[in-house]
Structure formats: structure tokens, C-alpha cells
Chains A and B, each alone.
Chain A
Amino acid sequence: MPKIKMPKGTPSIDMTPMVDLAFLLVTFFMLTASFRTAEPVTVETPSSISDKIIPENVLMVTLDKDGRVFFNLSDPEARKEMLNEMLQKYKIGLTEEKIEEFSFMSTFGCTMQELPAYMNTEAAKRASFPTQGIPTDSTKNELLDWLSFAATAAGNTGRTAFEKAKLKGGEPKMEDFKPKFILRVDSKTLYKDAQTVIDVFRELNLNNLNFVTSAEAIPVN
């Protein structure tokens, strides 16, 4: 019986097309990727048909499913201004370094008392920082202070950005630079909890709110 000859040496497969494709995909993803910023809470937003993209200059209040309140202001400069006002009002000290760090953080949520400890926690561990979120009860409404300072600060930076855009030429609209007020709620948050936050906004006469939603197809009739 003739033996079956096994081919000698290593069989080589031409991998060029695969590698080409891999690099194409890498390039594509690298260029299109926008990164998720680290958030201390995970929020599953409800869906809607709205196709309005989230604006640039925003004050965002986040409510997780237990009703804890978190806050985010997008503009770093305004954040610094807001934090300084808050520290002054509550007579709490933070090092210059930490203030700088705060201005580049994203969403945060803790009482003013907890703030120094919160800032001293490692960035990665802040998500598990034991806190009840920003207090909103009428006796100690810290959210109201955060919001009012943030609205002024973001209004100021928005105005300077508008002036800059004007100098550059073109016809910028002031409307695009004004801070927008965003509410991010979890699907399972009680509306009652959202309402306390909404009432804080309304207290400051900020009535035009936006809810963060994930996109959903428009139903065809």
C-alpha cells in the first residue's frame, strides 16, 4: 500500500487580505470612536423618537434608579468658578490641585461635607464612594446652590465663547452658546424623585428642560 505523503514544511496561508481588513477596521474605529467618560453611576435612559443631539454647553443632573442625585457641568472653566463659589459658601477648603482636578472631572455626586473625602478618593474608586448623592431636601438644598452657581458660571463662559465666535466671523447664534439644562433619569427612577429635581430647576426659573433618551425609530403609520 502506498503511503500518503504528508506535505513537508509549514503550510503558508496568505494573510494579507485579512491583515488589510484588520487595519482598515482599526483605522475606522480609531477615527470614529468617541470615548465614554468614567461615570460614577450607570444610568439606563428611556428611549424616545427625538433626534436632537445633546448640546455642548450643558448642566446635567443625573438621577440613578434609587433616586440619588448627581451633577455635571460640561465647561471646565465654569466648573472651577462654580466650585470656588460653593467652597466659599459652605466654608470648605480644597487644595488648588484638587480644584484643578475637579474642573476636568465629569459627573460627581456627594454632599459638601463629603467633598474633600470624595476628591481624595482615587478616581477609579469614586464610583463606589458611599454617598446618598447631592441633597435636595428643602432644609439643605445643596443642589439648588450648585445649579444656581453653575447656571451663572456657564452663562458667563457661554457669553465669552459667543464673543470669540463673533470675532472669528460668521454669524453665531447666542442661543447655541447658552447653557442647556439636561436631566438624565434611569428608566426605573420614580418620577416623584425626578420631580423634586425638576422643582429645583423651576425654583431657579429654568423651565426648559431636556431629558436624555436613547434613539428609537419613528413609528410608521
Chain B
Amino acid sequence: MAQIAESGGGDHGKGKGKKRAKKGSTHVDMTPMVDLAFLLLTFFVLTSTFSKPKVMPLAYPAKPKVNDPIPPKANNVTTFILADDKVYYYRGEFYPKSRPGENGPTELSEANFGSGENSVRKLLASWNEYVIKNKAELDKKLDKKQIADSTYENRLNKLTVEREAVKVLIKTDDKALCKSFIDLVDELKIASIGVIAPTELSAGEKELLKAKN
């Protein structure tokens, strides 16, 4: 044991008949208490969870109803396609081979989730420069308390739907993992993209994907 109070016990052999009061401090054996304290400590250390989980909000488009008017075409749309563990993208509208646009038919380019060349982060940062710059100004104003929180949010919302702002469609194939989906949405949020719509792959896109693999 760590420490047991025995120091007061040496009185027997010296006896001259005189009764003497015990010398030294009275030790209380604290070993069990300390044991218990450490036991509790270990228990709490192992069972406690520190960070509450966080949530990432994402609004899905409402299910289309039968009589819904055809939505107007959005400007500056980028489509990301998650297939297996790869990310492809194309900008603007989709032009199949049979009906090529001004720059020929749509081709898929590959991106990655790193932070170097061709990474989603770099690409988005350059495409969405307009919003990022304006957002930085708004942030500054908010920091200096020149605008209220609600005005800040309103303006930010307006900013992300402007003509120059990038809007993103996310499409996934059957083998895409949730991890890459969340990673992609995360990158979009880092690039302050406000309009994100997860949608289904079209037949033309599926063909392009097949050709890629």
C-alpha cells in the first residue's frame, strides 16, 4: 500500500512504567478514498463525450407537383456528379452530343477533395469570387456592428441568388458514399454557395459517366 501510518507503534520495548502520550501526527489512512477518487476519475474520463454533435442544414427541393410551372433557368449553374469515389463537374447547361452548344457537347472534368490543383475548393473559390468578396465586406460590416444580424442574413441570402453567384446541382450515382456527398456540401458551404440542390442524374449524364469509367 502507498502509505500506512505505523510510526506511532514503537512504544513497547521502552517501557519504564511511565505512560506517555503518543507522539507524532495521527495519520488517517486515505488509501481507499484515493482509490475511489481515481476509479471515478477513470470512469468519467472514459464515458464522457465532450463535443455535442453538430448538424449541417441542407434544404432539399420540394417534390414537384403535377401543375407546377416549369422553373426559370438559373444563371451560372455548376453541376457536380459524385460517382464511386470520384467527383466530376461541368459548368452551365448540359449539351448532349446530338445537340451540342456553342462550345461543343458537355464534357465531364474531374476534381478532387484535396486542397491543391483541381481541388473542389480551389475551383469554387475562383468561380464564386464575386460572392466571396462581397461576403467578406458584409462580414467586416457585421464585425464593426454597422449592420444588424438580420440585415446581414438578408443580404447574404440575396447575394447568393444573384446572377453572378454560382449555383450548384449535386447528382450522385448508385455507388457514391454519403461521405463524399457531405464533403462536397461542406466545400460548397466553405465557398459560401447558397443555392444547393441535390437532384437525379439524367440519361445523358449517365452515358457520359459510363464512358468515363
- Residues of chain A within 8 A of B182, CB atoms compared: 46-48, 185, 187, 211, 213
Q: How far is the CB of A133 from chain B (nearest CB, A)?
A: 16
- Residues of chain A within 8 A of B48, CB atoms compared: 29, 32-35
- Residues of chain A within 8 A of B56, CB atoms compared: 48, 50, 52, 210-213
- Residues of chain A within 8 A of B41, CB atoms compared: 22, 25-26, 29
Please state if B178 and A15 are interface contacts (CB–CB under 8 Å): no
Please state if A209 and B57 are interface contacts (CB–CB under 8 Å): yes
Q: How far is the CB of A13 from chain B (nearest CB, A)?
A: 7
User: For the complex, what is the distance from the CA of A195 to the CA of B172, rounded to whole Å?
Assistant: 10
User: For the complex, what is the distance from the CA of A46 to the CA of B179, rounded to whole Å?
Assistant: 6
Which residues of B from 9 to 66 have beta carbons under 8 Å from A? 30, 33-34, 37-38, 40-41, 44-45, 47-63
Interface 1/0s, chain A 167-198, versus B by CB < 8 A? 00000000000001010011111111011001
Decide if the interface of chain A is mainly helix, strand, loop or mixed: mixed
- Residues of chain A within 8 A of B175, CB atoms compared: 190, 192
Residue of B nearest to A208 (CB): B59
Please state if B53 and A213 are interface contacts (CB–CB under 8 Å): yes
Q: How far is the CB of B62 from chain A (nearest CB, A)?
A: 5
Query: Which of the residues B7, B44, B183, B185 comes within 8 Å of A30, measured between beta carbons?
Result: B44
A19 close to B (CB within 8 Å): yes
Q: How far is the CB of B34 from chain A (nearest CB, A)?
A: 5
Count of inter-chain pairs, beta carbons less than 8 A? 166
Please state if A182 and B55 are interface contacts (CB–CB under 8 Å): yes
Interface 1/0s, chain B 53-84, versus A by CB < 8 A? 11111111111000000000000000000100
A48-B62 CB under 8 A given contacts A33-B47, A34-B52, A36-B47:
no
Which residues of A from 33 to 64 have beta carbons under 8 Å from B? 33-36, 45-55, 63
Please state if A54 and B54 are interface contacts (CB–CB under 8 Å): yes
Q: How far is the CB of B56 from chain A (nearest CB, A)?
A: 4
Please state if A202 and B60 are interface contacts (CB–CB under 8 Å): yes
Query: Which of the residues B34, B44, B49, B57 comes within 8 Å of A36, measured between beta carbons?
Result: B49
B142 close to A (CB within 8 Å): no
User: For the complex, what is the distance from the CA of A45 to the CA of B51, rounded to whole Å?
Assistant: 13
User: For the complex, what is the distance from the CA of A26 to the CA of B62, rounded to whole Å?
Assistant: 50
The count of residues in chain B whose C-beta lies closer than 8 Å to any C-beta of chain A is 51
What residues of chain A have their CB less than 8 Å away from a CB belonging to chain B?
9-10, 12-13, 15, 19, 22-23, 25-26, 29-30, 32-36, 45-55, 63, 180, 182, 185-192, 194-195, 198, 201-203, 205, 207-216, 218-219, 221
Known: A189-B177, A212-B55, A218-B190. 20 other contacts (CB 8 A): A13-B2, A26-B41, A29-B41, A30-B40, A32-B48, A35-B49, A48-B186, A49-B186, A50-B55, A54-B53, A54-B54, A185-B178, A191-B82, A195-B172, A198-B198, A205-B63, A210-B55, A212-B54, A213-B53, A214-B51
Q: List 26 A-B contacts (CB under 8 A).
A: A19-B30, A19-B37, A22-B34, A23-B37, A26-B41, A32-B48, A33-B47, A46-B178, A46-B183, A47-B186, A48-B182, A48-B186, A52-B57, A53-B52, A187-B182, A188-B178, A198-B60, A202-B62, A203-B63, A207-B59, A207-B61, A209-B60, A210-B57, A210-B58, A211-B56, A215-B51
